[in-house]
Amino acid sequence: MNFLPLKTLTDKQVQSGLKYIVKEGVATEAMSTLTGGTFLVAMAVMLKATNVQIGMLAALPTLTNVFQLIAIWLVKRYRNRRAICIICSVLARVPLLVIGFLPFIFSAATGLQALFFLLFFSYFFGSISGASWNSWMKDLVPQKILGSYFSRRSRILQILSVTLSLMIAVIIDYIKKHYPQQELTAYIVMFLMGGMIGMLGVYLLSRAPEPATNIEETNVLSLLKKPLKDKNFKNLLVFNASYVFAINMALPFFVVYMMKTLLLSLTCIIILGLLAKISSIVSLKLWGTYSDRYSNKTIIIICAPVFIICILAWTFTAMGSSQLISIVLLAIIHIISGMSAAGIDLSINNIAMKLAPHNEAIAYMSARNMIIAIFASLGPVCGGLLADFIANHQLLWSVKWTGSGSSSTFDLLNINNSNFYFVAGAVLAALSLNLLKNIKEEGEVDKKEALTVIKNEFRIHLQKMRLSSIHHRITSTVLMPSFIKKITALFQ
């Protein structure tokens, strides 16, 4: 197959390439669901991993992004982002297949170390592939549909992630209940399936064309210094780095907290995650439209405070008198945080792509990914260290009512070792929002003006939903077959 870039692409080639990128995303998302996220953390908990080890496991995908400097050198030398992306994607997926044979080679304790080793190499090559992919997409996706295209792609991937995650969670919980000795085997099978589906994704990726790129004849370090000399892009990096550090102090430990402190089943955890995904899917189209209409910065200003409040609300989830109250509160948190996180992630990525000059996109995007990787990986490690350090500490604020020979005590605030990092992450994230004002974005709209329009359109949307409630009930009964047909159609 010819991987050479093309000087010009026809509209037909661009549209074909965009379809293949969606198909590739479906396969890659399936691979990521099977080999990462909640299930990877659950596997680590089963293998008796410590808080610091879980933090390191969460840090690996972002920490390895510091090696994207290699991607810049490769693209500069060979000027073929497509070939680099495909080759490195293959090398990133091979370790996932090897993990499937770990139980036959190592003991449980040694197997955990081997798991870290293999995942490191998977994420290492994945980071190089990702840097090439970002630059490739910058030139392939037309600027005028950047927000709407990636929001649509994200919706499709999240629908798949939700459906597949729920199916797997039910299976894993069934195995844990009826065949507990086979739980590790189930995780191993998931890695084997993930690796094979990932290879399918590489083939689909190879079908998309690449427009030729022009990179200045400078050394790699000089090229990488340019984003750091760009004042506006540097302001974005400072904000992004501080924000992800704060957020990642808490995010990797949500699953651990629900499993160990709230004693929730994996199915329940996945269903809560499903609520977040659905709210994210529903809102992504709106955020994509609003980011194109107003500005990405405006969306962040609206969404970030909401997401921070959701993190802080986790500290109250263990204070209910029953597990049902905790689950209801968690459901509300997941729905609201899913909507707000979708807007934040989409907008930050879009700002970075908009601020990156056309012919220097890989340098700008790689510099961002490398810097963000360092701070994003420090977050969960610091969160794990904090959790172990304050393991025996507690901050309790309660109200006691006495009278007629009886007394009742109500806990207003109960922060212990399980959720100190939630508070720390929320506070630091709130402080980081002050740095957002230093970023200048073309077409920036006042927050109040945008918020007024969004509220009005959201109100109209709710009214339409009420009028068509019967239609939605009928649609919901055929949601799964319809989704399966859509996914199948992507590969036809």
pTM value is 0.67
- Are the CB atoms for 58 and 38 separated by under 8 Å? no
> Using only C-alpha atoms, what is the Rg of the chain?
23
CATH number of 11-394+418-445: 1.20.1250.20
Give CA separation, 52 vs 8, 139, 382, 429, in Å.
50, 40, 8, 21
The CA-based angle 376-427-377, given to 5 degrees, is 10
CA–CA dist 50, 19 (Å, integer): 42
DSSP state of 435: G
Domain locations in the chain as residue ranges? 11-394+418-445
Q: pLDDT tens per residue, the chain (492 residues)?
A: 667 878 888 889 999 999 999 999 999 999 999 998 788 888 887 877 777 788 788 788 877 877 877 887 888 888 899 999 999 999 999 999 888 777 777 665 677 788 888 999 999 999 899 888 988 888 898 878 877 888 889 889 988 988 898 899 899 989 988 988 888 889 889 999 999 999 999 999 999 999 887 666 566 677 677 888 889 999 999 999 999 999 988 887 888 888 888 888 888 988 898 888 888 878 877 888 777 777 788 889 889 999 999 998 988 887 666 788 889 999 999 999 999 999 998 889 888 888 888 767 767 887 887 788 888 888 888 877 776 666 566 666 666 777 666 777 665 555 665 567 788 888 899 999 999 888 888 766 666 666 666 666 666 655 665 555 545 444 444 444 554 454 445 444
133-136 contacts at long range (C-beta below 8 A, 24 or more positions apart): 133/81, 133/85, 134/353, 134/361, 134/362, 134/365, 134/366, 134/369, 135/75, 135/81, 135/213, 135/361, 135/362, 135/365, 135/366, 136/81, 136/82, 136/85, 136/210
CA–CA dist 128, 365 (Å, integer): 12
CA–CA dist 280, 237 (Å, integer): 25
Q: Is 208 left (phi over 0), alpha (psi -120 to 50) or beta?
A: beta
CA–CA dist 190, 91 (Å, integer): 18
